[in-house]
Chains A and B, each alone.
Chain A
């Protein structure tokens, strides 16, 4: 069974204070690892997909990296508008290589950036 654990549960930063969020995962075979941002009262908003260990993707102040057991979401010089819950999810494959469509999510990290 796929498992995803995110840490910390909550993170408070001052504006400009860089940090990282962690996503540890266990899957039978990784098809893709996804990062989403979720604002209060809204659905998750897609940020990145990572497919293989060593891959990195960037978008504005966010950079996602992937190893064989975990992913990091690095936030550089955050601003108050980066405050949100960040969700990590995995999509796995079975032994035959067929992808399971479902995403298995972690519980999220609540990020608060103070001005």
Chain B
């Protein structure tokens, strides 16, 4: 079946612009996660949702970052007034069930954001 998809795959923007990154999870997956991955490092948690409810946003760096999942499926990560330090690979993952028990997260291909 189809995996997690993300769009766009690449985004180049100028400093100060807003960007919206989209994640389409595996069909039927309840939980959706956003991570940021720097080159040579493991993914770093940003936020996650169970259905449409944002459960944990402790990893969002500052209030320029926000995320939503209004219908419990597709999610959008928005970065306002982008800065060069926001340049990174942004990855989305989904899992079948809420994390009452550990269950694997399946990752998408990522969106490479470059802020000029």
Contacts and interface: CB of A to CB of B under 8 A. Distances in A.
Interface residues of B, number: 31
A101 B42 contact: no
Interface string A34-46: 1010000011111
Interface stretch (B11-19, B77-85, B102-110): B102-110
Contacts, number: 72
* Interface residues of A, dominant DSSP: strand
B45 interface: yes
Contact of A103 (B40, B45, B50, B101): B45
28 contacts: A31-B101, A32-B102, A32-B103, A34-B104, A34-B105, A42-B109, A43-B4, A43-B110, A44-B107, A45-B107, A46-B104, A46-B105, A49-B102, A51-B102, A87-B43, A91-B99, A91-B102, A99-B102, A101-B33, A101-B48, A102-B48, A102-B56, A102-B58, A102-B59, A103-B33, A103-B105, A107-B41, A108-B42
Interface of B: 4, 31, 33, 35, 40-45, 48, 50, 55-56, 58-59, 91, 93, 98-110
